[in-house]
Amino acid sequence: MIDDVIARWHRYMAGELPGGLDELLADDVVFYSPVVYTPQRGKEITTGYLEAATKSLAGGDPGGVFTYVKEVLAGDTAVLEFETSVAGKYVNGVDIIRCDDAGRIVEFRVMMRPLQAIQVVHEEMGRRLAAGVQEVSRSATE
Amino acid sequence: MIDDVIARWHRYMAGELPGGLDELLADDVVFYSPVVYTPQRGKEITTGYLEAATKSLAGGDPGGVFTYVKEVLAGDTAVLEFETSVAGKYVNGVDIIRCDDAGRIVEFRVMMRPLQAIQVVHEEMGRRLAAGVQEVSRSATE
């Protein structure tokens, strides 16, 4: 089952999955941030984090393209190791993805190295999450 | 082969592996620190880092005992997820271990979350590595 989930995850990352994250994530999915201790619960908040993270990490830094360099799949869990570049800094990380029997993602955990990478991604994601909130407020008042 | 390596790794962590890291690590093993960008090459420096890390992470913080909570093994690679507590802070991390055909570890990569955990482990390991250097200098001059 995890093989199928990861195949769909790659289609999502390529912008080719009909239904997108709404199809992939379980309603009670939990997101574990590389920065913040507190688990983020539920499909809506997890979608927000994953969209911000995808844009931050794959966001067209001229220094490097987001690439999965290794995959380790067993049981209900996949570990996908990635490399990218954000604001000129090398970023190496893992997505640890666990799925349920229905093929929905129930847990999404991200870790990164080195320390400088986490700091730069933290800043970049903060800007994007704040901008997302502003866009939401703007469209709500327009 | 990776199953056997991980079984021996757990025996090492329990202090029960004759030969210790010298048996487990390949001569040209590379250690990728959760903090530092530059890969650390060779058995001697990797042994130093792993011994300091083991003491820092498993070092008897009353708040929590070092525990592996999940293992994902496939091909030549194992991902071991751990939880512990250092200086009262929750630490969640992974050891990503790759072995060669002879059953020696050729790559050891560590990542941790959240950000606060990396900062506290960084400080703790800095103290231990500095103390180690002092011990070496002291025994060299005695």
Tell me which residue range forms the domain holding A68: 2-136
Question: Who's near A6: CB < 8 A, 6+ residues apart?
Answer: A71, A73, A78, A80, A97
A38, closest residue in chain B (CA to CA): B114
CB A108 within 8 A of CB A46: yes
Percent pLDDT > 70 in chain B is 88
- Measured between alpha carbons, how far is B19 from B21 in angstroms, rounded to an integer? 7
Residue A133 pLDDT grade (very low, low, confident, very high; cuts 50, 70, 90): low
Total-model pTM: 0.90
CB contact under 8 A, A37 and B116: yes
Half-sphere exposure of A117 (CA within 13 A, CB side): 26
Q: What single-letter DSSP state applies at residue A37?
A: S
Q: Does A27 fall in a domain? A: yes
Q: Does A141 fall in a domain? A: no
Taking the Cβ of residue A90 and every Cβ of chain B, the question of whether any pair is shorter than 8 Å is answered with yes
Count of domains forming chain B: 1
CB contact under 8 A, B32 and A92: yes
A119, closest residue in chain B (CA to CA): B115
Which residues in chain A touch residue B111, judged by CB atoms under 8 angstroms apart? Answer: 92-94, 111-113
The residue written with tokens 């009353």 in the block is B62
Q: What confidence tens digit (pLDDT) does each residue in B82-100 have? A: 999 998 899 999 999 999 9
Q: What confidence tens digit (pLDDT) does each residue in A44-100 have? A: 999 999 998 888 887 556 656 899 999 999 999 999 999 999 988 999 999 999 999
Whether residue B30 is predicted with pLDDT greater than 90 in this model: the reply is: yes
Reading the block at residue B127, the tokens are 């103290």
Q: Does A142 fall in a domain? A: no
CATH of the domain at B97: 3.10.450.50
